[in-house]
Amino acid sequence: MRYRITHQTHYVYDRDVSVSHHVVQLCPRDLPSQRCLTHDLCVRPEPATRTERIDYFGNRAVLVTLETAHREFEVIAGSLVEIVPRLAPAEGLTTPWEEVAARCDAPGWGDAAAAGEYRFDSPMVRRQAAIGAWAKASFPTGRPLLEAITALNTRIHREFTFDARATSVSTPVEEVFAHRRGVCQDFAHLMLAALRTLGLPARYVSGYLETLPPPGRTRLVGADASHAWVSVWCPGAGWVDFDPTNDVLAGLRHITVAWGRDFGDISPVRGVLVGSGHHSLRVSVDVEPVAGS
């Protein structure tokens, strides 16, 4: 599959902003199952400086500075991405989950050593005993890792309600767990808290998901949105991506942009301002399949 992705972010401020610094992370990653064929980034007003770097997690980041007074800030990213099928390991043949957790504590874990850093607390995801106890029902002793995680993925989908009005970008994971409502970011954070509490490495993935219109309806341009899911380390298979919002493994309709410990590491657009007061934000995302792909 090939997709043309347009992501527009538009801020309007109620007073002049004299100086602003922003980090933009909107370029899809190159992976064994994904290639970013083209990527263009337009920033308005024209920044005084613009630099690119690779962050700690290997994501591409663009840093821009605006030094003239402005009341609007707009970022438009356009990408062409090719997705190929991911090889899904046989769930029942994977290592028992508690052995994976034990290996993380052992020295010299080979090429998986770097995965261990994703077991610990991060600013937006704290390990919680109550969440760990709830998740443990999916992790009986000896159960193969991916079989257990698939069960947890399904439980989050069944037991939690998607509700865009229930949470904000900063809602704590314990509040999501208590109220059983949220959006994809919340469900990814919840799954991370559960897995890390059990001692398993898991990271937050940000990207896009092609959405399909109802039968007989045409696609609405700009109706898609950024999406979030979870990637779990599995010995012998590497990182395997689970989407608890939709109870699926990430597949041909999932486009990966960045990953980190939680949303705070890879917010698509973030920054600091001098001036302004309140602001309004409009985000529009369009994920369009390319004809003939």
- Segment 156-177, tens digit of pLDDT: 999 999 999 999 988 999 999 9
Which pLDDT band, with edges at 50, 70 and 90, does 241 fall under?
A: very high
85 residue type, one letter: P
Write down the pLDDT at residue 228: 96
Q: What is the mean pLDDT of the chain?
A: 92
- The percentage of the chain sitting over the pLDDT mark of 90, rounded to a whole number, equals 80
Phi, psi of 152 (to 5 degrees): -65, -40
Which pLDDT band, with edges at 50, 70 and 90, does 108 fall under?
A: low
Among the listed ranges 1-10, 184-193, 217-226, which one has the minimum average pLDDT value?
217-226
pTM of the model: 0.93
CATH topology of domain 91-265: C8orf32 fold (3.10.620)
Domain boundaries, the chain: 2-84+267-289, 91-265
Which pLDDT band, with edges at 50, 70 and 90, does 236 fall under?
A: confident
> What value does the mean pLDDT take over residues 25-47?
97
**pLDDT tops 80 at residue 96:** yes
**pLDDT tops 80 at residue 183:** yes
Which pLDDT band, with edges at 50, 70 and 90, does 112 fall under?
A: low
- Segment 213-229, tens digit of pLDDT: 767 776 656 567 799 99
- Count of beta carbons in the 10 Å neighbourhood of residue 48: 11
- Count of beta carbons in the 10 Å neighbourhood of residue 141: 7
- How far apart CA 64 and CA 203 sit, in angstroms, is 27
Give the sign of the dihedral formed by CA 177, CA 183, CA 185, CA 188.
positive
Write down the pLDDT at residue 237: 87
> What value does the mean pLDDT take over residues 55-73?
96
Classify 163 as helix, strand or coil: coil
**pLDDT tops 60 at residue 42:** yes
Beta carbons of 54 and 92 less than 8 angstroms apart? no
**pLDDT tops 90 at residue 244:** yes
CATH topology of domain 2-84+267-289: Immunoglobulin-like (2.60.40)
